[in-house]
Structure 1
Amino acid sequence: MEELLLEQSEGVLWLKLNRPQALNALTASLVDALTAAIEGAQRDPEVRVIVLTGEGRAFCAGADLKDSAKRGPDAGFAFVKAIGALTELMEACTKPVVAAINGIAVAGGLELVLACDLVFAAESSVLGDAHSNYALFPGGGATVRLPRKIGVNNAKHVMFSGESLPASEWKALGLVSRVVPNAGFIDAVAMSAKKLATKSPLVLARMKQALNDSIDQPAPIALRYERVLSNLHNFSADRAEGLAAFKEKRAPQFQGK
């Protein structure tokens, strides 16, 4: 059985973790498959949006602990390094990466969510860190990204307690973009992703870059950078197409140039 299912339609690439019997827990081969899929999507001009979700009742329960128990410290280090590289790739990808949380998302699963740009969660889904429950230390970016998303004190509570919280609480904390009723969840995510895929790939890539880079920059430097990108964008074909479409009262056809 394939650990990762790929489906592409109307500019949207769906990546579906397909280990439902193991709550889509991450193995080395699944991490490699995700990495290859995102690298391929980055190079493919037909892919404009990437959606990550899971088959069955879980989004991702983190690393497969049964698999981890078989590995020694050196192999464990390589596995954690691969997960870290995957989350960095997701964050740096110029295409929007959307998490569609269909169920349980804990530990490494939460770290995948933290690397996504938009987070949609089914009403019944739960998210948590859970590393502390088994004396494990995160390696996919939780200690760095979680406090930036929800604040240091909230991140400490989530990580120290190991508790899972419902999607509604994560929306209040600011991590989840939208909570969607279970009925029609995938359809709702698909509709939003398709709308996103009609936007200019160039402007979305530049917005993502500026937003990510601004977090660790003093405001005056970030503002100067924004103005440089804005001036550069004035010469883009997509901007000209957007203005022409507005003037002619038609749908724009963006090429990402």
Structure 2
Amino acid sequence: MFETDVVRCRIEGGVAWLELNRPDCLNAMNRPLLRQLLAALERAAVDETVRGVIVSGGGRVFSAGADIRWLSQASPDEVRELARLAVAVTRRIETLGKPVLAALNGDALGGGLEIAEACTLRLAASHARFGHPEVKIGAVAGFGGTTRLPRLIGKGRAAELLLTGRLIDADEACRLGLVNRVTAADRLLAEAQALLDEILAQSPVAVRLSWEALHRGLSLSEDESAALGADYFGLAAQSEDFRVGTRAFLDKQAPKFKGR
């Protein structure tokens, strides 16, 4: 267990549990929180005992977004610096090389939702709400939301949420594809653990390469993306896990993957 001012982390059973820890201001994001979250992600990336990450919020919400009290008096350069730091965090989530699940224990708004959008998968408590209300304060979803939201739910639906600032409930978020699953609040962390365990039971090599092929392929043409998938298939075939998995299938046994 290690704990910083505004991010808590414990490592248990191969999982790094990261908790945003500014409950008195609804886990609003400022520079210290983003820096500490980035540092926790970097530790998880290099720690060989960590195979996956689950991010949640302390208190009753995941995160209400950027710290508006700070934004109201910050200079444009300071706001841009905050956004670039947040973009570094979301980029690190996507490139961690290990699955990162968002356990959305309550509202995820603005920058908080942008952190979740960068995660591999998202699970939501049934009472949680989601949205990009930035336009309501004269701002833009500058932590990556204008890029990731349309990739998750489509351009038209994303435009509606980004341009109106409307909030949606967990069930609608699931129907749109913004979250993968909705569960009772008291089951959320257990469901996140179970879903991550399901992923971690597979070949770590295949999981990493599948995510990279999917993520990188989104910025390519259909033909280029398909070619990339074929290349990654070839990379996977070079691994010990590929030999273990194919042999176990033929022998009708459960594979024991090595992660290499």
User: Which TM-score bucket, shorter chain as reference?
Assistant: over 0.9
Structure 1, residues 174-206: CA drift from partner, whole Å, max 9, x if none?
A: 111111122322111112222322322211110
Amino acid at match of 1:219: E
Query: 5-14 or 69-78, which moves further after superposition?
Result: 69-78
Q: State the shift of 1:249 in Å.
A: 5.2
Change (3 A) 1:32 1:207: same
**Equivalent position to 1:109, from 104, 109, 112:** 112
Alignment of 1:1-257 (within 5 A): 2-247=5-250, 250-257=253-260
Q: CA–CA distance in 1 between the matches of 2:156 and 2:141?
A: 17
Q: Using a 3 Å threshold, how does the CA distance of structure 1 residues 2 and 251 change in structure 2: closer, same or farther?
A: farther
Q: Runs of 5+ in structure 1 lacking a partner? A: none
Structure 1 distance, partners of 2:5, 2:198, is 29
The letter for the 2-side match of 1:215 is L
In structure 2, give the amino acid aligned to 1:242: G
Matched letter for residue 257 of structure 2: F
Alpha-carbon offset, residue 85 of structure 1: 1.2
- 1:122, CA displacement in angstroms? 0.7
SS at 1:121's partner residue? strand
C-alpha distance 70-177 of structure 1, shift in aligned 2 (>3 A): same
Higher relative contact order, structure no. (Cα contacts within 8 Å, ≥ 6 residues apart): 1
Superposed CA deviations along residues 34-83 of structure 1, whole A, max 9, x for unmatched, are 11111121112211111111011100111111122343222222111100
Structure 2 residue ranges without an equivalent (≥5)? none
2:103 touches 2:192 (CA, 8 Å); kept in 1?
A: yes
The CA RMSD over aligned residues, in Å, is: 1.6
What is the identity, as a one-letter code, of the residue corresponding to 2:15?
A: V
Q: Tell whether the 8 Å contact from 1:20 to 1:56 is kept in structure 2 after alignment.
A: yes
Structure 1 CA distance, aligned partners of 2:5 and 2:193? 22
What percentage of residue pairs aligned between the two structures are identical? Answer: 33
CA deviation vs aligned residue, 1:5-62 (integer Å, no higher than 9, x gap): 1011122111100111111111101100111111121112211111111011100111
After superposing the two structures, state which structure 1 stretch, 244-253 or 205-214, moved more. Answer: 244-253
- Does structure 1 retain, via aligned residues, the 8 Å contact 2:141–2:162? no
> One-letter code of the match for 1:13?
A
1:215-235 superposed Cα distances (whole Å, 9 cap, x missing partner): 121222211121121122112
Tell me the secondary structure at the aligned position of residue 185 of structure 2: coil
Instruction: State how far apart, in whole Å, the 2-side matches of 1:50 and 1:179 are.
Output: 19
Deviation string for 1:99-131 (max 9, x for gaps)? 110001000011111101101001111100010
Residue 2 of structure 1 aligns to a residue whose secondary structure is coil
TM-score by length of 2: 0.93
Distance 2:144 2:250 in 1: 45
| Aligned length, in residue pairs | 257
